[in-house]
Structures are given as C-alpha cells and as structure tokens.
Structure 1
C-alpha cells in the first residue's frame, strides 16, 4: 500500500513538473490598444479625414447660422415697429429656422459619426487579424490587450510588443497607401463629375 501511494505521489510530481514546464514555455505579450490606435498612421489619417470633413460641413452650416443670427437681430429691432401680428409671424418663422438648423447640425454629426465609425470598425477588424497572424508567426500563446477596455491589470514592460506591432502596421499601411490615394482621387473625381 505504501509503495502504491509512493508511486502515485511520484507520478503526480512528474505530471505536475511537466505541466509547470509547459506553462513556463508559453510565450505571452501584451499590446496597449489605446497607444496602438493613437500611433497607427491609418488611424491618424481616418481621424484627420473626418476632422477636415467636419470643418468643411461646418462651414456651410456656419453661414446659415450667421444668417439666422442677423435675421434674429433684425427681428428684435423691427418687432415693435411692425406690430404684434408681424412679430408673431416672424417669431414663428425664426423658431422654425432655428429648429431646422439644429436638426441639420444633428444630422451632420450623426452622418460623420456613422461614416467614421464604419471606417474605424473596419480598421479594428484588420488590426485584430494582423495581431492574430503576428502572434502565430512569432510563436505567442497569448497576446493580451491593455488600454481603455483593459483585459490585463498588470504586465511587465518586457512583454509589451505595442511598438513592434505599430511599426509593422505603419509599414504595411505605407505600402498600401499609394493605392488608397489613387482610389480616393477616383472617388473625388466621380463626385465632382456628378455635380
């Protein structure tokens, strides 16, 4: 009985040692996802694109807002001179215009959010695919993500591969960028042709 128990303990120890050796061999790393998105050139380009688009669309709206403000100031100056009926009619018109401007602004923001959201979602999907293939290629058992939606509460800096992945993604994007620029120019030309 003692020999059987001793053999059992010895077998358990061997299995335990094998498992701990396997656990030591697991190659792991983490990526700071917030930093990755801040430093990834394609992400910066998308952000800049929608910032410029927002400013351009905002300029058109600003002209309408300025016109509205001028009309509102004129209304206040002329309200007593033109009588109560005129003031009520013009007041209602101004309220309607103010509401339309508000709706236009909301629609513009929603459109920009939807378009940029779709591009960023696509970017995230592509980054995940890249990280997956990177992990397989480099022999990682796990690559964790940190950042705003942290899945790692602590990791030693030596396991941080964020800079490597950002560099590789940026290099890949730079190679693909000339084709995207050509495609964008064709799209812009098509839009101009429709006008």
Structure 2
C-alpha cells in the first residue's frame, strides 16, 4: 500500500509538469516581478518557473489530501490484515480437525474446504477492489489538484502577464534558471490564501 503513495507523488509531479505547460499562455499587463525576455529578436516573452516539489510540499490542499489518503490506506491495510488473520485461523483449525478425524463425514470436510477456498478468493477480490478504489481516488485527487492550480493561475496571470510559466522538477526540465524568475512562493501563497480546508474532505 505504501508504494501507492509514491506512485501518486510521481504521477502528480508529472501531471503538474503538463499542467504548467498547458495553462500558462495568457498574456496580460506586464508585471515588475521579472524582466521580459527577448526571443528571436522580435517577440518579447515574459517567462517564470515554479518548483513543483516545493509547491506540493507547501500547498495545504495537497497536504490535506495526502493525509486523507494515508488514513484510507491504513484503514484498508487494517481491514485486510484482520480478514487474513481470521482466514488463517480457520484454515489452521480445518487442518487440525482433518488430521484428527474431526469431521463426521468426508463430504463435510470437503464442504468446509470449499468454503475456505471461496473465502480465500473473496479476500483476494476484496484486496483487488480496495486497491482499485484507492487508485481511482488518487486519480481524482490529481485532477482536483490540477483544477485548483489551473483555476488559480488563470486569475493570477491576468495581472502578471506571463507568456510562459514552466515547471522545474529537479533537473527534468531546467538545467539552469535565474532565481529572479522563480515564482513558486507567490503561487503557494496565493493557492493557500484561497484554500478552504473543507474542500479536501469532500
């Protein structure tokens, strides 16, 4: 189950990279935050970047979603462990009775064996279902995160006028960038200012 959290973090980091590539093409009133960059000698582009890892760490909405998912993972793990222990106890009891001729008839022993086999299959199906449900919820959370940031950036860029806002995840995209173009903290503060904690619990 723990792997699911790391998979989600990786997925969201990738989603964020795509997000910033898609939703930051609005041009508006120039801002004094960063100096426009000349491209090709004729077009002025105003560019900024956001550090995705830092954003995910500081964005309270994402932290609250993470906490909820960790709790759900723990609940699932507890449920499955309890059912697995119960099944193990019943199987050991079945084996003990079988070895000590504790069943009245052979048919009764076969019926109990079939029941336990079905219970084992049911447990496996439950595990698969809960894992699939968790993955679906992770995907829903990633869309919520993307929509939240996308919505904010559209408002934010009306006054900032960036031509391009790109993401920086380690060395995946930017090998070098002047920190003057780093707007991560601005974005985090803006997102947190409009965040309503009850939205993460829906």
User: Structure 1 length normalisation: TM-score?
Assistant: 0.68
Is residue 107 from structure 1 mapped to residue 129 from structure 2 by the alignment? Answer: yes
Report how far residue 111 of structure 1 moved.
1.3
Is residue 167 from structure 1 mapped to residue 189 from structure 2 by the alignment? Answer: yes
Report how far residue 88 of structure 1 moved.
4.2
Q: CA RMSD in A?
A: 3.0
Is residue 75 from structure 1 mapped to residue 97 from structure 2 by the alignment? Answer: no
Aligned 8 A contact 2:76 2:130 in 1: yes
Report the structure number with the largest CA radius of gyration.
1
Higher relative contact order (CA 8 A, sep 6+): 2
Aligned 8 A contact 1:43 1:120 in 2: no
CA distance in 1, matches of 2:173, 2:158: 20
Is residue 91 from structure 1 mapped to residue 110 from structure 2 by the alignment? Answer: no
1:18-58 deviations in whole A, cap 9, x for unaligned? 962x55x5321111223322321101111111221232343
Per the alignment, residue 7 of structure 2 pairs with none
CA distance in 2, matches of 1:43, 1:172: 13
Per the alignment, residue 60 of structure 2 pairs with 41
Q: Which has the higher helix share?
A: 1
Q: Which moved more, 1:152-161 or 1:83-92?
A: 83-92
2:83 to 31, 40, 64: 64
Aligned CA distance change for structure 1 residues 26 and 64 (closer, same or farther; 3 Å): same
Per the alignment, residue 155 of structure 1 pairs with 177
Per the alignment, residue 118 of structure 1 pairs with 140
Aligned CA distance change for structure 1 residues 149 and 64 (closer, same or farther; 3 Å): farther
Is residue 128 from structure 1 mapped to residue 147 from structure 2 by the alignment? Answer: no
Report how many aligned residue pairs link the two structures: 162
CA distance in 1, matches of 2:172, 2:154: 18
Q: Name the SS for the 2:135 alignment partner.
A: helix
For structure 1, list consecutive stretches of 5 or more residues without a partner in the other structure. Answer: 1-16, 188-195
1:73-131 deviations in whole A, cap 9, x for unaligned? 21222222227655544333222211111111111121122123213202212202212
For structure 2, list consecutive stretches of 5 or more residues without a partner in the other structure. Answer: 1-37
